[in-house]
Structure 1
Amino acid sequence: MMTAALLQFPLAAESLWSRIFVFDGYGELLSLLSQSVVAGAILALIGGFIGTFVAMRDGAFAVHGIAELSFAGAAFFLLIGFDVITGSLVGSIVAAVIIGALGTRAKHNGSLIGVLMPFGLGLGILFLSLYQGRSANKFSLLTGQIVSVDGAQVTEMAIGAIVVVGALLIVWRPLSFASLDPDVAAAKGVPMRSLAMIFMVLLGISVALSVQVVGSLLVLALLITPAAAAVQVTASPVKALVLSVVFAEISTVGGIMLALAGSLPISPYVTTISFLIYLICRIVGRVRRRTTGSGRVSAAPREASAA
């Protein structure tokens, strides 16, 4: 029996490989779905930017909470026959406003986010259970699907990128100061609550748009992992931002291009590439710290003094 299993292993491996990668007619398919690649590049730019501030504010848990309500909004709009992107955006904004209303306490109040997460997930499952349409539409809300993106959606994503990136650049200095040293920032009169609300709304927009690529369950791969990888190899906030965007682009665009050649959803490709980048950066950072004989320098003092 063991011998038979060993003999069948190469056939099983070949069958699995043929499901993951099928490059027959890849050039024509890539040309046909070029808008999907453009959309992925736009979303990676958003993820790289917003992810840097999420890392500064230790807001990974908030991203997950927003993603669950984004999923609920998308599922509800799918049920009633409306645009799921709009529903995702509505759910994200509602969650972002609730969390942002806590101001500087948001990152310390994990209990509220912990309540929002199962509530949003439960609503989403309820709406999907009531939906009688194609099962692929249900699956894509959880795991992501961008191959069907059209010109109007690309335009919508581009507008979202302009809003998010532009707003982050405008509030860069006070938001960085408030994120890295909130007590000192509050003492110096920085409008902490207003900045928190602005950031959470921008994060909500980013989550709603990113759900289209990796789905609501794996949105952290786009908004968290690239920035987390970047801070492993640099202590400079500016360099971390640049690397975060580069890593997000590689993960998202690379994942989409690989997904076009296979039969699997996009999310496994994106999340795998993103995790490998993080793993490599973590190893590189550890080697560099051993070589220099010092730990990774925190960017907080540098950024706070600059502010």
Structure 2
Amino acid sequence: MTFVDGGTYVQLLELVQNSIIAAGVLGIVGGLIGVFVMQRDMAFAVHGISELSFAGAAAALLLGLNIVAGSIVGSLIAAGIIGVLGARARDRNSIIGVLMPFGLGLGILFLALYPGRSGNKFGLLTGQIISVDLPQLGLLMGISALVLIALLVIWRPLTFDSLDPEVASARGVPGRALSIVFMILLGLAVAVSIQVIGALLVLALLVTPAAAALRVSASPVLVPVLSMVFGLVSAVGGILLALGGSLPISPYITTISFAIYLVCRIIEWRRSAGAPRRVGSARLSA
């Protein structure tokens, strides 16, 4: 691995400032929506959507169209199918299991037919650092803002339906409609995340930060905040580290995200290990 000097690194920062902004926004969006992904046990769905999103992006690359738009079309198709047909967990997992190889196979076919640079092909799988121009940044930020606003609007009923769907349904919460809306928002989040981290490792932004946050807190306020912070640190930190070497961005983002998760697991373990001792000490002193 080769590293750049200080002056060159500053120049690279100026070159990829759009990507840094995009990564920060996507880290926040991924961290927030990831909380509901974990609550609804839909980590597998993220991977399934990412495969069809990859196929859509590869098709757009082959046809000379906007890659983000192609990625969004693929994600929305997958999200719609899962949301409509996969109301129950067993049905949802089987549908995802069918969609994943189909989407990956289509994507590989489109990339094999693409006559352009191999770097463009590789970037769809592992992410790209300097590929976010101003129009793409505007599109990414617009979609991210839409996802955030929609999540805030449906936050309370979605939380209720995620934690206790049977009681929520009895109280009149439209669980099926919420599920479809959430899947659409998840599809949009997956589509825009692929531009930075790639299709194969999108779980690092949409699942791992929330999984880490849930290890150290159960607060309905603190968990989303921690998840967004973890996603932001992983995404932006990954880009900043990737600028100094020659590796793709994805290994850096996934390593930071995984390291945060390990730290949170250790904190959880230390708390659980110390709790019995504190209870025992209290009984002895009594």
Q: Which runs of 5+ in 2 are unaligned?
A: 278-286
Post-superposition offset of 1:48: 0.9
Distance 2:251 2:222 in 1: 28
Aligned partner of 1:205 among 188, 198, 201:
188
2:282 aligns to what? none
Residue identity in the other structure for 1:133: G
How many residues were matched structurally? Answer: 276
Tell me, yes or no, if the aligned pair for 1:142 and 1:216 is still in contact at 8 Å: yes
Match of 1:140 in 2: 123
Q: Which residue of the partner structure matches residue 32 of structure 2?
A: 49
Match of 1:284 in 2: 267
Contact preservation (8 Å) 1:103, 1:194: no
**What's the offset of the Cα at 1:146?**
3.2
* Residues 46 and 203 in structure 2, CA contact (< 8 A), matched pair in contact too: yes
C-alpha distance 167-103 of structure 1, shift in aligned 2 (>3 A): farther
Please show how residues 1-307 of structure 1 align to structure 2 within 5 Å: 16=1, 18=2, 21-24=3-6, 25-102=8-85, 104-106=87-89, 109-293=92-276
Q: CA deviation at 1:220?
A: 0.2
Q: Which deviations, in whole Å up to 9, do the C-alpha atoms of 1:200-224 show, x marking residues without a partner?
A: 0000000000001110000000100
Contact 2:86 2:95 in 1 (8 A): no
Q: Which amino acid aligns with 2:40?
A: R
Q: For the residues of structure 2 that align with 1:203 and 1:85, how far apart are their CA atoms?
A: 15
Deviation at 1:102, TM superposition (A): 3.0
Displacement over 2 Å in runs of 4+: 21-24, 106-109
Per-residue Cα deviation, 1:176-201 (whole angstroms, up to 9, x for no partner): 11111111111222101100000000
Give, in angstroms, the shift of residue 91 of structure 1.
0.0
Aligned partners of 2:195, 2:178: CA distance in 1, in Å?
Answer: 27
TM-score by length of structure 1 reads 0.87
Deviation at 1:288, TM superposition (A): 1.0
Query: 2-side partners of 1:148 and 1:70: how far apart?
Result: 17
Partner of 1:305: none
Identity score, percent: 61
Task: Name whichever of 29-38 and 77-86 sits farther off.
Answer: 29-38
Q: CA deviation at 1:23?
A: 3.6
Residue by residue over 1:21-73, the C-alpha shift from the partner in whole angstroms, topping out at 9 and shown as x without a partner, is: 43441112112221111111111111011111101101000000000000000
Partner Cα distance (1:107, 1:199) in 2: 18
Which amino acid is 1:126 matched to? L
Per-residue CA deviation, residues 205-246 of structure 1 (Å, 9 max, x unaligned), is 000000011100000001000000000000112111000000
1:99 is displaced (CA, Å) by: 0.6
Alignment-mate amino acid for residue 75 of structure 1 = A
Greater Cα offset, 149-158 or 251-260: 149-158
Partners of 1:100 and 1:47 lie apart in 2 by 19
Q: What residue identity is the alignment partner of 2:47? A: H
Query: What is the rounded CA distance, in whole Å, between the counterparts of 1:113 and 1:64 in structure 2?
Result: 8
Q: Is the 8 A contact 2:201 2:250 kept in 1?
A: yes
Change beyond 3 A, Cα 1:213–1:107: farther
TM-score by length of 2: 0.93
Name the aligned partner's letter for residue 4 of structure 2: V
The DSSP-based 3-state class of the residue aligned with 1:217 is coil
CA contact (8 A) 1:57 1:107 kept: no
Report the Cα distance in structure 2 between the residues aligned to 1:219 and 1:132, rounded to whole angstroms: 26
Contact 2:86–2:92 (CA<8 Å) still a contact in 1?
no
CA contact (8 A) 1:100 1:106 kept: no
Q: Which residue of 2 aligns with 1:7?
A: none
When the two chains are superposed, the root-mean-square deviation of aligned CA atoms in Å is 1.4
Q: 1:144 to 1:157 in 2, by over 3 A?
A: same
Distance verdict in 2 for CA 1:89–1:265, change over 3 Å: same
Paired with 1:75 and 1:98, the residues of 2 have a C-alpha distance of 20
- Which ranges of structure 1 fall in alignment gaps of 5 or more residues? 1-15, 295-307
